[in-house]
Structure 1
Amino acid sequence: MLDIKNDKRIVMTLDAGGTNFVFSALRGIETVVEPITIPANVALLDNCLNYIVIGFKEVRKRLTEKPVAISFAFPGPADYRNGIIGDLMNLPAFRGGVALGPMLEDIFKLPVFINNDGDLFAYGEAIAGILPEVNQLLEQSGSPKRYRNLFGVTMGTGFGGGLVHNGELYIGDNGAASEIWLMRNYINN
């Protein structure tokens, strides 16, 4: 697995939710810019895009070193490989598809990586959270057992999930393999 704890590169980050956009910057697992929260303004695309650019510009202004990338989490399924956000229930402004990744690459001249918030939560716990902690305790106790699989659930404005199998993030063929936010509810039927 990735040795994120010893990674010295700085990455600007965004956790995009239906209520707020939360910007920061990380060096490995260390927060180097305190979180900046901006209301998402989810109904108007121009406002959403403007707030995203403003948020990243503010993070960059607070950095003492040049970042190597932008990485952020969006709720729900989208074409994350190509940086296209669209048809997200919590962010109606993006309906129909918005090439957000390419737009930010053009503005900031940095590679942009966008993924699902539930996936990134699960992967973070697998590489720098609960799995390494549990495996270290197992090693200290003399156990040969090590865990490499994890399913994580996120609950905020929305409801999401992510799966790490054999140390790798499992996204499936459509980038939404572990999306559970649209599970059918038969309780009220």
Structure 2
Amino acid sequence: MYTTDNRIVMTLDAGGTNFVFSAIKGYKEIVEPVRLDAVVDNIDGCLQTIVEGFKLVKNQLTETPVAISFAFPGPADYERGVIGDLGNLPAFRGGIALGPYLNLVFGIPVFINNDGNLFAYGEALAGFLPEVNDELQKAGQSRQYSNLIGITLGTGFGCGVVIDGVLLRGDNGCGGDLWCTRNAKYPKMIAEESVSIRAVRRVYAEESGQSADALTPYDIFLIAEGQKEGNADAAKASFRQLGQVAGEAIANALNIVDGLVVIGGGLAGAGKYILPGVMDALRGEAGTFGGNSFPVLQSKVYNWEDDAERESFLKVGLTTVKVPQSMTTVPYLKERSVCVGLSKNSTSSSIMYGAYAYALSQLLY
């Protein structure tokens, strides 16, 4: 969808340090990205920077863009383009009507959403979902997937949900949020306390007995790989625990969404150590007072990053059953299955693709 669309959408990757502006057409970046220092403590300076960035992008275009669309941190009333009180951007206090302001300046529709939602949308339309469906088709399978949960692992625990090609926003703009769900390991804590950069540092320090204040998650990954001095077992345990807590939250979402799961974000580079924990949680069981035990998911879960498991997943197909009192047979999908994989795009690219597609999905030709 939109691969051959000729409309242009200007985008922004808004971080606490840098604002990166670009323009997308047909899921391709068509300008040299513009990188400006983020102004975080002065609203007039911040707005001036955002306008300057989009103007510099627009000056590179030979055609008029149809919209502006980008991810911006919350809390926010995304539908109305109003940004709330942000921890890392203190200039936004009390509610700033960023979308309406940019609409006045540029005279085109402006769409704002959170990065988890736009990551999921980008992966659903131009990432993991079509990748899996293409591989199923190549394998001669008729089944196709249309639902996806997109997870971003980094400073926080991001999530977005796409159902039948439609981004789940929710009535209050909170659709798909998992970060504040109950932490399976520490029930009085939110899940994000164990699914974040700070969690990796904390668990490494707990497991190794050493301070992790000076370590980045990449440092801890290198320790796990044996390429940097430190406690490799503690490093691996820090990523595995993150995966286990994330997996418990994802399991609850999967029981509602029933689709594929793709993981991205800065920590996804340590996916080889995170995915085993995720898979353990998704393959867990829960019991009843009567002594029965049930899988926490009704579908069998496959690890797309494991060659043998991916091959098995691609072999799951239809069988046939006989219609009672007749010679007729009908197809029957005996095994329900889903898979979990890592994004092949950069997270920022998937977010840009999602922002692009979301804008076009909201526009009338």
Asked if these proteins are the same fold (TM beyond 0.5), I'd say yes
CA contact 2:74–2:83 (8 Å) conserved in 1: no
Query: Alpha carbons of 1:161 and 1:50: their partners in 2 closer, same or farther (altered >3 Å)?
Result: same
CA contact 1:90–1:158 (8 Å) conserved in 2: no
Distance (Å, rounded) in 2 between the aligned partners of 1:132 and 1:101: 31
CA contact 1:86–1:97 (8 Å) conserved in 2: yes
CA contact 1:75–1:158 (8 Å) conserved in 2: no
| Secondary structure of residue in 1 paired with 2:91 | helix
Distance (Å, rounded) in 2 between the aligned partners of 1:15 and 1:182: 24
> Aligned AA for 2:169?
I
| Secondary structure of residue in 2 paired with 1:147 | coil
CA contact 1:76–1:117 (8 Å) conserved in 2: no
- Tell me the equivalent position of 1:31: 29
- Tell me the equivalent position of 1:98: 96
Segments of 5+ residues of structure 1 without an aligned counterpart are none
- Tell me the equivalent position of 2:151: 153
Query: Alpha carbons of 1:166 and 1:127: their partners in 2 closer, same or farther (altered >3 Å)?
Result: same
Shift of 1:99: 0.6
- Tell me the equivalent position of 2:2: 4
TM-score (norm. length: structure 2): 0.48
Count of residue correspondences: 186
> Aligned AA for 2:3?
K
- Tell me the equivalent position of 2:55: 57
- Tell me the equivalent position of 2:117: 119
Match for 1:67 among 65, 68, 88? 65
Distance (Å, rounded) in 1 between the aligned partners of 2:108 and 2:47: 17
Q: More strand per residue: 1 or 2?
A: 1
> Aligned AA for 1:129?
G
Aligned residues with identical type, % of pairs: 60
Distance (Å, rounded) in 1 between the aligned partners of 2:163 and 2:122: 13
Shift of 1:97: 0.6
| Secondary structure of residue in 2 paired with 1:150 | strand
> Aligned AA for 1:9?
R
Q: More helix per residue: 1 or 2?
A: 2
CA contact 1:24–1:34 (8 Å) conserved in 2: yes
> Aligned AA for 2:46?
C
- Tell me the equivalent position of 2:138: 140
Cα root mean square deviation, aligned: 1.9
CA contact 2:74–2:84 (8 Å) conserved in 1: no
